[in-house]
Structure 1
């Protein structure tokens, strides 16, 4: 357990009261500052830098507010009850291409877990040598069933979903291939499930191969501690991909619920498209015939009844069947009464994108089919046939997927956050257990670390765009904000560019984005800055956040790329590759290219600093403004300097780094305003 658990209840209560006071003071001073910035200090003569700067500052103030809300109800849980007798547990070790020896070491440790369980290696690489190693260890081995051939694999989420259908334990312990579990991991977590509402228990992720000083910013003691405890206080502690125990019933309920919701959404879209088809058909000359007009009225009535039945909660299978039957009868009567329309209808329908006995496999295909059908100038008979085809296009069996139920979310390259958010929306609870119960491996070189951070960010932004918590039904307001705060933090790359640019513009061109005196500015800014740092100091409970401050700004190109690429994937369908984090050191050749944008920024900052020093020496311009912006540039350069030891890092060699649970020197990837980039996911 962490040192904080040694605090007396009185000391802990006093610290929490102090934290709440600091949160209130920080937010008050921040609101005063940002209100003044928007209303009285903008230099509209330089709006092109003044507006971006105040927007960036507003972003940071919101970040502070979200962090303060997170910490407002930070929860220190007492020890859970004893693990229940007779509970059945499946331990899943997910792997794709990791070394067989590494996976075997994790599996061997999993076998030594003291609580009775079954251990399974989930090998997405289907490697014969891995199967042989599993057999030698006496653990189960699961790979994809033939149903997954030529179907979306959904990366790690698909791997776990496949295994869920081949096992039956009440609870699941999910481990990444490098996360060595400690024997007591189930004894210390299963007791939480005495509460029938608990679906998830997340434990910290700590890494045993991090050198002193944590040169790559791998450890995350602030997230796996105060922040997760803060989210836990709002019932929003979320799944981080590994070192977590989940209730099977909760996951299966989620899978069934998503199946029903997605098919109902497809039916709603089909009904909407059918209505458009009928409206267009009424403009056809043949629609003036009394029998035809009557048939179209009947179809419209059938569509209206279907929408009402769906809204009343009837099963979509029954709604679909009844609608298809009614439209089929209407179509048959119309054919019998007016055979003259058949030839023109057949000619039009041959041009449609699929034959009548085909099904539409994906949501996007359904939308495309609706667009094409509604664009056709069909006769009434053709329109009615189109309605039938739209209803038949709803793929109840989900032929596009390997299995109809997908309990773990597949909307993102990182499955964890979306899954726990959906569980919370269904009314389930989560718990954060603050005790190191597994030891993993962090990236051993800068390139691997950057790929890992990029994937985490991309996955989180995908979730924000596809299943935004702010509008997700079932979540409380606090839960919406807790999830959104993590997603929001990945927008910081754009703010960082502004923060780097503003002092350069002043030092090189003498353009000040703030229209005020130095005294007036500091009178409003310094109280906020000091209170913000004090709030962070108390919230972090003595854990250094400096390395995190460096990386949160220094990785700005990663955050920007993540947002742009994820938006391109969600909005434009551009592919987004899933890359498994390498568990061994990769080649460092060309390492400087990995940080080329940071180098460009550093060079520009140095040039601006030289110009500023010359201006200061010659007494050109306002000396206070020049000095402040020089200090700002120096701070930025210190921030970026973290990349120098990262590039030179040769990998962990047991250089005296302390054990994870004792790592007073551990750093985390945090920014001074409480963002969560890079800390919320496991190292798949």
Structure 2
């Protein structure tokens, strides 16, 4: 792999140092060894040099100010690496002090609680270092064109597995798959119906696609895919979850890499979602704050790609059949068959690729309980792989691959550490236990540079794909639910069963608060409130205990309350006014009125049931009018009939019933357009860590009040 490192992004004038950094081939061992030996003595001195809390605090402030200024005024990958180094130094200095100073406990109870906190901190630090390694140099793979001679293009099977999803969801994906630009004699679309439903078989016949069902349901989705592999013979296999709608350019954008790299077994593209997940919807931040998946598909996967460790994510991916046959098909040993399949391919020496250009889009989980079930299954599956096929053990993997795979697995082990962080300050505020045996101002002087420098470095690297502190919400929400499944999976990987993620079926006729699913957050919130109140009255006002130790723990509790408050509000499911999610997109359109009049307008959004149309200023239409609507697909105009349900200058139109051919045209002109999903990818609104924290506070302490008083209905 060529790892001569260019400086992508916004460049600054190159001086001699930057030019030298560009010329060095960092893939060679000699530069790495020389650099390590040169800096190691300095690193040891910086980490271990003793300072009292005043000088340590001053040193930390200098590093933080320097890091902030560098982050603000310099923009290239070398600067990101420099900030990671700053962060690592402050963290290692903190850890050295932590191990040599803070573990002198006074009682068995303090020792137990203190070491629980230390384990949680070590987990967090490990994930931080691993994530720095993983995302140090994203590969940013580009599109490779196919040969002009289509006779050289391989045959392709497109698999769309389904189990209990409604036909309304699957139909759109199937018709879009049929519209993929590929020689018709070299592509076959297959519905893999594990539900064995006659309506699906009839739809497959009408649509002209193959229908595959099986008598048993062993190994869930993995078994369904393997059964289809035995029934088909295409040289390559493309897989879409049944709610993922591919653009027509999917294969032409991706297949060129298989011609360039004969050892390539997989190319994965992003999972893009046109509907908000429950956290986005219920906190009303969709489109303003990047969602959970954008960090993984926007940055982490590109970092994995640099180390040849791109993950197979179960959908929106292409696999080479011969490579799958070498590993015995899709992995069936765990409930995360996709990640395990990628690991097995890597062990066999195949290359895995990631192309960060969205070429399909689907539905996010549509309720908080469904979201928790899906993430819990992912966590259990990763723990199963960790237990039965640990990437740190066995043959066939490079060091980079081992670290990338173990990072992904350990990333789901946050249940215990997260709960420890939420409860740790209560040990002192409620019971007076000193589980962090040090003078409070000294703790501030070491912990603040460690924590805030990590925020500065992560913001520099992740700002396009995750706002600071928002990841805390996702982890805190799920921590009580993933803890036990992860522990059980490590003890006995065979425990549990595969659960299908429900999408597009859960509707809320009114705003409702799910107290049952929110109960862990409510209990943790109440405990932190009690701890804060008791600490203020007992330690601050009453003068008991050490003042600054109480302040330190109260600041900690305040942050916990911000996060937990937002978590509680997530459990308030917002009423949905539409039966299907709409996609925001502006396309030129034409309205043909019965009197022969023509109005040129544009779409605002669309779904498989209707669309919104923006008329020219000064023009209005009333409700219940029947319209002919024309939308262009390249040079071809496609027409649909619709009824105006909401009149005015901004029309809400419901499509009239249409046959399968017209529905296929609707999909082609809307969902499967080649430019649909890639236009805004990675162009999220950025927010500084302080701005992000202030926005988060608005969803935190105020959230319990919002749950009781806010009845605003949001359109979804």
TM-score, length of structure 2 as denominator length: 0.67
Residue 551 of structure 1 and its aligned partner are, at CA, apart by 1.2
Residues 246-395 of structure 1: pairs in structure 2 closer than 5 A: 246-255=319-328
Residues 128-147 of structure 1: pairs in structure 2 closer than 5 A: 128-144=198-214
Residue equivalent to 1:33: 94
Residue 651 of structure 1 and its aligned partner are, at CA, apart by 5.8
User: What secondary structure does 1:479 align onto?
Assistant: helix
Q: C-alpha distance in 1, partners of 2:250/2:105?
A: 59
Q: C-alpha distance in 2, partners of 1:133/1:254?
A: 34
Residue equivalent to 1:90: 157
Q: C-alpha distance in 2, partners of 1:105/1:555?
A: 32
Residue equivalent to 1:603: 526
Q: C-alpha distance in 2, partners of 1:541/1:647?
A: 27
Residues 467-486 of structure 1: pairs in structure 2 closer than 5 A: 467-486=389-408
Give the CA RMSD over aligned residues: 2.8
User: What secondary structure does 2:446 align onto?
Assistant: helix
User: What secondary structure does 2:327 align onto?
Assistant: helix
Q: Deviations over 1:138-197 (max 9, x none)?
A: 1111112x5xx5xx7111001010111111111111000100001111110001101101
Q: C-alpha distance in 1, partners of 2:497/2:194?
A: 19
Q: C-alpha distance in 2, partners of 1:8/1:42?
A: 45
Residue equivalent to 2:85: 24
User: What secondary structure does 1:76 align onto?
Assistant: coil
Question: Against the structure 1 CA distance between its residues 667 and 197, is the aligned structure 2 distance closer, same or farther, given a 3 Å change threshold?
Answer: farther
Question: Against the structure 1 CA distance between its residues 197 and 666, is the aligned structure 2 distance closer, same or farther, given a 3 Å change threshold?
Answer: farther
User: What secondary structure does 1:91 align onto?
Assistant: strand
Q: Which of 157, 160, 185 is matched with 2:222 structurally?
A: 157
Residue equivalent to 2:258: 193
Residue 644 of structure 1 and its aligned partner are, at CA, apart by 3.0
1:576 and 2:497 matched: yes
Residue 8 of structure 1 and its aligned partner are, at CA, apart by 5.7
User: What secondary structure does 2:275 align onto?
Assistant: coil
Question: Against the structure 1 CA distance between its residues 434 and 473, is the aligned structure 2 distance closer, same or farther, given a 3 Å change threshold?
Answer: same
Q: Which of 422, 444, 448 is matched with 2:344 structurally?
A: 422
Question: Against the structure 1 CA distance between its residues 240 and 446, is the aligned structure 2 distance closer, same or farther, given a 3 Å change threshold?
Answer: same
Checking the alignment, whether the CA contact within 8 Å between 1:217 and 1:667 is kept in structure 2 is: no
1:181 and 2:246 matched: yes
1:241 and 2:307 matched: no
User: What secondary structure does 1:49 align onto?
Assistant: helix
Q: Which of 273, 284, 292 is matched with 1:207 structurally?
A: 273
Checking the alignment, whether the CA contact within 8 Å between 2:140 and 2:302 is kept in structure 1 is: yes
Checking the alignment, whether the CA contact within 8 Å between 1:491 and 1:563 is kept in structure 2 is: yes
Q: Deviations over 1:291-331 (max 9, x none)?
A: xxxxxxxxxxxxxxxxxxxxxxxxxxxxxxxxxxxxxxxxx
Q: C-alpha distance in 1, partners of 2:200/2:340?
A: 30
Residues 432-443 of structure 1: pairs in structure 2 closer than 5 A: 432-443=354-365
Q: Which of 611, 625, 629 is matched with 2:553 structurally?
A: 629
1:79 and 2:143 matched: yes
Residue 598 of structure 1 and its aligned partner are, at CA, apart by 2.0
Checking the alignment, whether the CA contact within 8 Å between 1:204 and 1:437 is kept in structure 2 is: yes
Residue equivalent to 2:232: 167
Q: C-alpha distance in 2, partners of 1:550/1:505?
A: 23
Q: Deviations over 1:72-108 (max 9, x none)?
A: 2321112223266421111110100100121111100
Q: Which of 99, 104, 109 is matched with 2:171 structurally?
A: 104
List alignment gaps of at least 5 residues for structure 1.
256-406, 673-684
User: What secondary structure does 1:102 align onto?
Assistant: helix
Residue 426 of structure 1 and its aligned partner are, at CA, apart by 0.3
Checking the alignment, whether the CA contact within 8 Å between 1:218 and 1:443 is kept in structure 2 is: no
Residue 414 of structure 1 and its aligned partner are, at CA, apart by 1.7
Checking the alignment, whether the CA contact within 8 Å between 1:445 and 1:646 is kept in structure 2 is: no
Checking the alignment, whether the CA contact within 8 Å between 1:106 and 1:178 is kept in structure 2 is: yes
Checking the alignment, whether the CA contact within 8 Å between 1:185 and 1:437 is kept in structure 2 is: yes
Checking the alignment, whether the CA contact within 8 Å between 2:290 and 2:466 is kept in structure 1 is: no
Question: Against the structure 1 CA distance between its residues 667 and 163, is the aligned structure 2 distance closer, same or farther, given a 3 Å change threshold?
Answer: farther
Checking the alignment, whether the CA contact within 8 Å between 1:121 and 1:142 is kept in structure 2 is: yes
Q: C-alpha distance in 2, partners of 1:217/1:591?
A: 24
Residue 553 of structure 1 and its aligned partner are, at CA, apart by 2.2
Q: C-alpha distance in 2, partners of 1:97/1:505?
A: 47
Structure showing the higher helix proportion among its residues: 1
Q: Deviations over 1:520-546 (max 9, x none)?
A: 222222222122111111111433334
Residue equivalent to 2:470: 547
Structure number, greater radius of gyration? 1
Q: C-alpha distance in 2, partners of 1:574/1:125?
A: 24
User: What secondary structure does 2:334 align onto?
Assistant: coil
Checking the alignment, whether the CA contact within 8 Å between 2:292 and 2:471 is kept in structure 1 is: no
Question: Against the structure 1 CA distance between its residues 480 and 509, is the aligned structure 2 distance closer, same or farther, given a 3 Å change threshold?
Answer: same
Q: Which of 107, 122, 126 is matched with 1:62 structurally?
A: 126
Residues 445-456 of structure 1: pairs in structure 2 closer than 5 A: 445-456=367-378
Residue equivalent to 2:573: 649
Residue 667 of structure 1 and its aligned partner are, at CA, apart by 11
TM-score, length of structure 1 as denominator length: 0.70
Q: Deviations over 1:338-359 (max 9, x none)?
A: xxxxxxxxxxxxxxxxxxxxxx
Moved more, 23-32 or 498-507: 23-32
Residue 656 of structure 1 and its aligned partner are, at CA, apart by 9.1
Q: Which of 223, 228, 238 is matched with 2:296 structurally?
A: 223
Residue 63 of structure 1 and its aligned partner are, at CA, apart by 0.7
Moved more, 533-542 or 546-555: 546-555
Residue 566 of structure 1 and its aligned partner are, at CA, apart by 1.9
Q: C-alpha distance in 2, partners of 1:411/1:666?
A: 40
Checking the alignment, whether the CA contact within 8 Å between 2:428 and 2:553 is kept in structure 1 is: yes
Residue equivalent to 2:76: 15
Moved more, 652-661 or 80-89: 652-661
User: What secondary structure does 1:209 align onto?
Assistant: coil
Question: Against the structure 1 CA distance between its residues 160 and 20, is the aligned structure 2 distance closer, same or farther, given a 3 Å change threshold?
Answer: same
Residue 623 of structure 1 and its aligned partner are, at CA, apart by 2.3
Q: C-alpha distance in 1, partners of 2:105/2:166?
A: 59
Q: C-alpha distance in 1, partners of 2:333/2:685?
A: 33
User: What secondary structure does 2:250 align onto?
Assistant: coil
List alignment gaps of at least 5 residues for structure 2.
1-6, 23-74, 586-675, 693-716
1 or 2 for the larger relative contact order (CA 8 Å, sep ≥6)?
1
Question: Against the structure 1 CA distance between its residues 219 and 49, is the aligned structure 2 distance closer, same or farther, given a 3 Å change threshold?
Answer: closer
Residue equivalent to 1:125: 195
Q: C-alpha distance in 1, partners of 2:142/2:339?
A: 25
Checking the alignment, whether the CA contact within 8 Å between 2:331 and 2:338 is kept in structure 1 is: yes
Residue 17 of structure 1 and its aligned partner are, at CA, apart by 0.7
Residue 9 of structure 1 and its aligned partner are, at CA, apart by 7.1
Question: Against the structure 1 CA distance between its residues 110 and 667, is the aligned structure 2 distance closer, same or farther, given a 3 Å change threshold?
Answer: farther
Residue 564 of structure 1 and its aligned partner are, at CA, apart by 2.7
Residue equivalent to 2:634: none
Checking the alignment, whether the CA contact within 8 Å between 1:214 and 1:667 is kept in structure 2 is: no
Residue 514 of structure 1 and its aligned partner are, at CA, apart by 1.6
Residue 206 of structure 1 and its aligned partner are, at CA, apart by 1.2
Residue equivalent to 1:466: 388
Residue 618 of structure 1 and its aligned partner are, at CA, apart by 3.0
